[in-house]
Amino acid sequence: MTVRVPLRDWFAPVPMIAGVALIALTCALGRWQLQRAHERIERQARIVALQNAPAQRITAQPVAADAVLYRPVLLRGTFDVAHTVLLENRPHVTNGVSRPGFEVLIPLVLEGAGRRAVLVNRGWLPRDPVDRTRIAPYTTPAGEVQVEGMAVPHASRVFSLGGKDAADEAGQRLRQNIDLDAFAREIGMPLQPFVVQQESDAQDGLARDWPRADLGADRNYGYAFQWFAMAAGVLGLMVFYGVRRYRRLAGASEPA
């Protein structure tokens, strides 16, 4: 006679709890990667839809970020060269080869009533392979200039080495990341709540072939597949060991 083992006894409590927690975690990470991929694709679709829209002129008057994000914008003002920031660890792909470098960010003091600036990402510079503080030459126009570009929510971000945040790097020229609110307090001037990626060519030695917004979506899908595969693997192991435990308990319960 086969002895029936209650379902609650198929799994040892501790391994079952650990397995369920691991499945929940990996599924959550998989869903997060899918969300990241969808955000990248939707962002690129919005950029394509707005790329032929007339450029919106940005002056010193406050502008809500939602009104201009991913739209072409036109700026007139003067670069505040004294507050130039170089963001480190920004690789750039040239002819299929990734090279380390910096992104050059400079506040542009805008025309119009009041005093307000917008942070402009002017482009990319290569990094010296021996001395990171030896900056390749580039030029910044003096006096009033006109800049065309696209408004984005913030400057590019990387994992901060040593756990530094934007406040820890205040006053430094070379930084890992930059926060608009903290930077506005640092320079003593309000900033528009977005960054402008410069697209107009200024013959200044900076590269401006900005990557597509959906770059990396395929990688996100790949990571999502890995996380979901891991969840399926954990579930398979739980079932395997549960069946084996059931057989062992059932065998031990059979009358001699």
| CA-closest candidate to residue 86, choices 72, 100, 66 | 100
What's the longest Cα–Cα distance across the chain? 98
Strand ranges (E), 51-205 = 56-58, 72-79, 85-87, 92-94, 97-99, 101-110, 117-126, 144-152, 174-175, 191-198
Please give the DSSP secondary-structure letter assigned to residue 60.
S
How confident is residue 250, by pLDDT bands cut at 50, 70 and 90?
Answer: low
Which pTM value belongs to this model? 0.72
pLDDT, position 229: 94
User: What are the angstrom distances between the C-alpha of 32 and each of 20, 69, 108?
Assistant: 18, 23, 36
Those residues with Cβ within 8 angstroms of residue 63's Cβ, 6 or more apart along the chain or in another chain: 192, 193, 194
């006096």: which residue's tokens?
143
The string of pLDDT tens digits covering residues 41-61 is 887 777 777 777 788 899 999
Q: Are strands 117-126 and 191-198 parallel, antiparallel or unpaired?
A: parallel
**3-state class of 95 per DSSP?**
coil
CA angle, corner 18, sides to 16 and 23, nearest 5? Answer: 95
- Between residues 79 and 93, which one has the greater pLDDT? 79
pLDDT exceeds 70 at position 166? no
How confident is residue 167, by pLDDT bands cut at 50, 70 and 90?
Answer: low
Contact 199, 149 (CB under 8 A): yes
pLDDT, position 194: 94
Q: Where are the alpha helices (DSSP H) in the chain?
A: 13-50, 180-187, 217-253
> Tokens representing 225?
């597949």
The string of pLDDT tens digits covering residues 100-118 is 889 999 999 998 777 899 9
CA angle, corner 164, sides to 127 and 151, nearest 5? Answer: 65
